[in-house]
Structure 1
Amino acid sequence: MIEISDYIRNREIFHETVSSLQQHVSPLWGKMKPQQMVAHLADEVKWSNGKAPCCCIVSEEQALRNKEIMIYTDIIIPKNYYIGELPPHYLTMDLNDAVGQLMEQLYRFDQHFVDELHAEVHPRFGPLVKSEWVIWQQKHFSHHLMQFSIIPETIESMNNQDLNDCI
């Protein structure tokens, strides 16, 4: 039996899993179309692999709180949770291109972290080392793969107050 973490950490399984997504599939929740979701994930991986460095947009104290909640607890992202509108460029690529870009960015991520203490900035969590990025990617990717029924849904354990504190 494949564990949910295998869908994310094993690149071959992940590629097969994401490639199984069809353009016409409607999400169980949310507004994203399949290629938007995959492009969204690829863009975020660029933050983690140094290809699109970003700045933290919250205070240092809030970033530490966000990291503590989202990285170091079992909290998962709830259905219909989003921050802002989708960038228009998510509409410009097709699904196969988006999957290819996501896999390329994940390959770059795997090559990027030669030093375990090296960190890249997440806009709401501040600097994250590789192990923290892996935890976040697993949570974030799982959320979106469940959104499109690509992997089975898990029981959501999110405390909404904790999530509101992460904004």
Structure 2
Amino acid sequence: MIDIQNHPVISNLLKKLNPETQPVFGIMTSQHMIEHLILLAKLSNGGIKGQLMRSEETAVKWKQGLIYTDMEFPMGIRVPGQEENTLPELRYENLQKAIEKLENELKIFEEFYKDDKEKSMMHPALGLLNYDEWIVFHSKHFAHHFKQFGLV
């Protein structure tokens, strides 16, 4: 896992990334990966509202396995609702701008939960997650994608 709360470590790892960095697995480019992490950070910090994209029963099982065990993200896992072998359009001017946005969204995340760690935000595949659950999710999610690009 990556210590998502250790912003200097995250920033140092992200500095190793460049637009030419090739993935070890998957089809994302480095910028697609960062923009994907931005989306999940925004879901967790109230920047956008998520909606559950699978049954409650399935979400509970996935949440239990991913958040409350040592289970890592499986390689090849797909974003719910995204077609196989497709990538969304890039939203940011370049990789550096995307990295800056990600770092900012992580700061917003900490601020969002500062006074109430029990409030919950919807994850599209896992259901409602509180602060501690989002920390576990982000830590595993970042580790998965940092492995994808050889950063860890």
**TM-score, normalised on structure 1?**
0.82
1:80 and 1:93, CA in 2 relative to 1: closer, same or farther beyond 3 A? farther
What secondary structure sits across from 1:9 in the alignment? coil
User: Counterpart in 2 of 1:72?
Assistant: 68
User: Counterpart in 1 of 2:124?
Assistant: 123
Q: Separation in 2 of the partners of 1:105 and 1:77?
A: 22
Higher relative contact order (CA 8 A, sep 6+): 2
Give the partner amino acid of 1:140. H
Runs of 5+ in structure 1 lacking a partner? 152-167
Q: Separation in 1 of the partners of 2:18 and 2:90?
A: 19
* Count of equivalent residues: 146
Post-superposition offset of 1:70:
1.1
Runs of 5+ in structure 2 lacking a partner? none
User: Counterpart in 1 of 2:104?
Assistant: 104
- Deviation digits for residues 62-97 of structure 1, max 9, x if unmatched? 22111101111111112232233332135x531101
After TM superposition, what 4+ stretches of structure 1 lie above 4 angstroms from structure 2? none
Give the partner amino acid of 2:39. D
> Sequence identity, in percent?
32
Determine if the alignment matches structure 1 residue 17 to structure 2 residue 18.
no
- Deviation digits for residues 129-165 of structure 1, max 9, x if unmatched? 00000000011100000111101xxxxxxxxxxxxxx
- Deviation digits for residues 8-62 of structure 1, max 9, x if unmatched? 3300111111122111111111101111101110111000000011111222222
